[in-house]
Amino acid sequence: MLEVHKAVFPVAGIDTRFLPATKASPKEMLPVIDKPLIQYAVEEAIAAGITELIFVTGRGKRVIEDHFDESYEVEHVLKARGKQCLVDLVHSITPPEVKCIYVRQAEPLGLGHAVLCAEKLIGDEPFAVLLADDLLDGQPPVLAQMVHLFSHYDSSVLAVEEFESYDASSHGVVGGQHWDERVISVSSIVEKPSPEAALSSFGAAGRYVLMPSIFEHLHSLKPAANEEIQLTLAIHSMLKDEQVLAYEFVGKRYDCGTKLGYLQATVDFALRHAEVHDAFGTWLRERVRGMQPDPGVQPQAH
């Protein structure tokens, strides 16, 4: 039975959708309440048994390294002020048995290219890929669900979710045969098709468990100059040689690469955050009540 110990976090994108917030700071450091997106993804990976975290970084992403590093100055000041629980909070971001490794993608040449940058560090083992701007909220954590399925079938597994048909153009969309309620044997995958060309209503959701053979397929892609290397195309190429499964995970996806998804995550997480859920819930209910049209006033016909 194959095991998954390594995870790749591609964080070298150019983050255009959150400009100007992401001009000097990566989108993966945007907080949902008090934790950056990348930390949610790292915690999900660790909960799935991952012990080696490989971050593919780019320009302006240094702050991610700092976030997972020791912070002696901050800890020293907090200790001196007697704030031990805050010391523990910043100290325990990654447990000691977990190793963080950073590799640089010199140019943002696409997600497939970012994964290729980690090839030497992965070697000949299966590995996970987590896109931190997809915040997946599941119990058990979504990557743990996927690793479980992977170890059962020894096949690559892609997380998918059902989407509205008009939304096909923002997903990698899979086609294939349902094996059971949640598992699809993939026969095709297409990156961001038009709604008419979509193979199904199941789209990739930012989590992958991949066989190392993906690297051969990434190498065999021949993108035109200035064209990105797409992970989706390499997965499609893999289908000629081996089985790939799509898994409709148990949980909820927040697309925090978009403003709407980011706001939805913020509200849902705030409504169950130990410190603010009461006060925020009360405020939100009043706010929503204030937005209802007054039942005594009829809408005007124009």
Binding site for ligand UTP (CB under 6 A): 10-17, 56, 105, 108-111, 113-114, 131, 133, 257
Nearest approach in angstroms of CB 179 to ligand UTP is 28
The residue of the chain with the least Cβ separation from ligand UTP equals 13
Nearer CB in complex with ligand UTP: 17/91 = 17
How far out from the chain centre does Cα 267 lie? 19
Nearest approach in angstroms of CB 180 to ligand UTP is 29
Nearer CB in complex with ligand UTP: 138/206 = 206
Give the Cα separation of 83 and 299 in Å (integer). Answer: 55
Nearest approach in angstroms of CB 138 to ligand UTP is 19
Nearest to 248 by CA among 154, 178, 152: 178
Nearer CB in complex with ligand UTP: 63/109 = 109
Q: CA torsion sign, 41 to 131 to 181 to 164?
A: positive
Nearest to 115 by CA among 189, 211, 29, 28: 211
Residues 57 and 64 sit within 8 Å (Cβ to Cβ): yes
What is the DSSP secondary structure assignment for residue 69, as one 8-state letter? S
Nearer CB in complex with ligand UTP: 131/270 = 131
Nearest to 97 by CA among 11, 5, 10, 8: 5
Nearest approach in angstroms of CB 231 to ligand UTP is 8
Nearer CB in complex with ligand UTP: 9/247 = 9
Nearest approach in angstroms of CB 146 to ligand UTP is 17
What is the DSSP secondary structure assignment for residue 92, as one 8-state letter? T
